[in-house]
């Protein structure tokens, strides 16, 4: 998984996974660079090139509900954008955490849950029922896909990077 340089084969596979009729228009490099300056991050490849050159979201998955959402968006069921999103802060996890089973009082772990949901990622979309897919943009897990739900968070082990995650989805449809 190379998060610094877009691989042509990955980009070709992404173009095939997101056919033109389902693509939202790409942002272009100026808009991607503006987002990165505003947020204090550099998006990992090949997601960065996808958003700049191919499409800023799609009308079909992945994820399965509403497809890939635009870079500056949150899923419709996310709730209000209360300004807590902080992509420049490092994503806090390196291994799965099921907070539903955590023995600590909720008041103690609630701030940590908020960090997992908001720090160091862009949200790619939802599979519904409170399951959101995140692309980690800062921290030790940079470039990896994580599933964050109402009960916990876990890395997408079988498909660690964005291109792998999309490829797995494409094979299953």
pTM for this one?
A: 0.94
The per-residue pLDDT of the chain, averaged, comes to 92
Q: Is the pLDDT of residue 110 over 80?
A: yes
Check residue 156 and give its pLDDT: 92
Read off the tokens for 106.
Answer: 């909720």
What is the Cα–Cα distance from 17 to 79, expressed in whole angstroms? 29
Q: Given pLDDT bands bounded at 50, 70 and 90, which one contains residue 159?
A: low
Q: What percent of the chain shows pLDDT beyond 70?
A: 98
Q: In degrees, to the nearest 5, what angle opens at C-alpha 164 toward C-alphas 162 and 166?
A: 70
Check residue 61 and give its pLDDT: 77
Helix (H, G, I), strand (E, B) or coil at 16: helix
């Amino acid at each position: 998984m190379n998060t610094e340089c877009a691989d042509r084969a990955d980009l070709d596979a992404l173009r095939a996974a997101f056919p033109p009729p389902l693509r939202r228009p790409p942002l272009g490099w100026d808009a991607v660079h503006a987002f990165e300056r505003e947020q204090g991050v550099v998006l990992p490849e090949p997601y960065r090139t996808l958003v700049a050159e191919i499409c800023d979201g799609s009308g079909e998955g992945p994820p399965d509900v509403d497809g890939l959402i635009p870079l500056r968006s949150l899923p419709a069921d996310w709730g209000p954008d209360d300004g807590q999103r902080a992509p420049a802060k490092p994503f806090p996890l390196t291994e799965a955490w099921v907070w539903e089973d955590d023995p600590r009082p909720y008041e103690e772990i609630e701030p940590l849950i908020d960090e997992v949901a908001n720090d160091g990622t862009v949200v790619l979309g939802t599979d519904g029922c409170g399951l959101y897919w995140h692309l980690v943009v800062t921290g030790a897990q940079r470039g990896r896909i994580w599933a964050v739900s109402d009960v916990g968070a876990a890395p997408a082990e079988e498909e660690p990077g964005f291109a792998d995650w999309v490829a797995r989805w494409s094979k299953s449809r």
